[in-house]
Structure 1
Amino acid sequence: MRWKATMCGLGLVLVAATACGEQTDSVQPGAGGGQPTSSEAAPTAPGVPATELPPVMPGGPRQMQPPDGAEQVPAARVDATVLPADFPREVFVSADGRQVFIRAEEGGCGRAAAEVTEQTDTRVVINLVENKTQQAGQMCTMDIRYPVVSATLSEPLTERTVVLESAKRGY
């Protein structure tokens, strides 16, 4: 009888160890080598200009790298002083300058999005928002992801400064 209890206990330990031992790929902010998994990659068609790509919407497929043809905005033209110290600071712009791609941060049940809140002759202010669902009893993972979100400008970015802000909603 004692051996049955021992075997049940050993089985539970084995199940718990295998469930907790699953490793996932993660992308660190600023790292260019992380590859998205097939469930995270946004569908893109070869040869489609970045201006024709739809913005990444909360709850939709996650785009982990900026689209081909997008160029990084020089760090001197990115003002991220109000972001938390560990927040990504990567900004890219499409070839026509009207679509901006920003590496954001999201975790668990949160979904990142970008909102243009101000556009002047000298600067563009973009609020990086993490929206969390409000479903009662919903279980959320304890991970951090760094998807690329996009925002469309009314005029090309040209030499304007990109000011990044952040907010959390639904917390």
Structure 2
Amino acid sequence: MEPKPETERTPVAESQLDTSALPKSYPTKVWTQDGGTVVVATGQEGGCSTVHAEAAEQTADHVKVVLVEETPDPPGICTMDLRYPPVAVRLDAPVEGRKIVLEQRDVKVPR
């Protein structure tokens, strides 16, 4: 899901984020849109890889968002750049006071 650039962004406070499962250098900027029903996080991709977000878990006290980086296998010729695109997930209900837990996963995909 692509975030809507024309929609108002509501920043998520650091105290509402759990980024402990992310690599140290991973971006941690997160905001909500559409009344808190869409969570947008800054992903990280590079070279031939692309990133997307998945809503892995939604409970009464937290929402788990997994940032999935897909890399072609075999990789082929790729650039050596890093990109930080916004990636979004739609929730069943607004975030409100729930904790947002961010995780990252690498996946190999056939070319």
Alignment of 1:69-84 (within 5 A): 69-84=8-23
Q: Which runs of 5+ in 1 are unaligned?
A: 1-54, 57-62
4+ runs deviating over 3 angstroms = 65-68
The aligned length equals 109
Structure number with the bigger relative contact order (C-alpha 8 A, sep ≥ 6) is 2
Q: Deviations over 1:84-132 (max 9, x none)?
A: 1110001110141111100011111100000111100000001101001
- Mapped contact 2:65–2:101 kept (Cα < 8 A): yes
Select the structure of larger CA radius of gyration.
1
Partner of 2:47: 108
Structure with the bigger percentage of strand = 2
| Alpha-carbon distance in 2 for matches of 1:137, 1:167 | 17
Residues 108/132 of structure 1: CA separation in 2 closer, same or farther (3 Å cut): same
Tell me whether 1:117 sits opposite 2:56 in the alignment.
Answer: yes
Q: Partner amino acid for 1:87?
A: Y
- TM-score between both structures, scaled by the size of structure 1: 0.59
2:64, 2:44 → 1: CA distance?
17
AA paired with 1:170?
K
Gaps of 5+ in 2: none
Task: Kindly indicate whether the alpha-carbon contact (under 8 Å) linking 2:44 and 2:85 is maintained by their aligned counterparts in 1.
Answer: yes
Query: TM (normalized to structure 2)?
Result: 0.90
**2:89 is the alignment partner of 1:151:** yes
Q: How big is the alpha-carbon RMSD for the aligned residues of Structure 1 and Structure 2? A: 1.9
Give, in whole Å, the separation in 1 of the partners of 2:29 and 2:82. Answer: 16
Shift of 1:67: 5.1
Q: Secondary structure at the match of 1:118?
A: strand
Once residues 166 and 137 of structure 1 are traced to their aligned partners in structure 2, the CA distance between those partners, rounded to angstroms, is: 20
Q: Is the 8 A contact 1:66 1:148 kept in 2?
A: no
Percent of paired sites with the same residue? 33
Note closer, same or farther for the CA distance 1:137–1:158 as it changes in structure 2 (3 Å cut). closer
After superposition, the C-alpha distances for 1:39-97 in whole angstroms (9 at most, x for unaligned) are xxxxxxxxxxxxxxxx13xxxxxx7x965411110110000011111100011101411
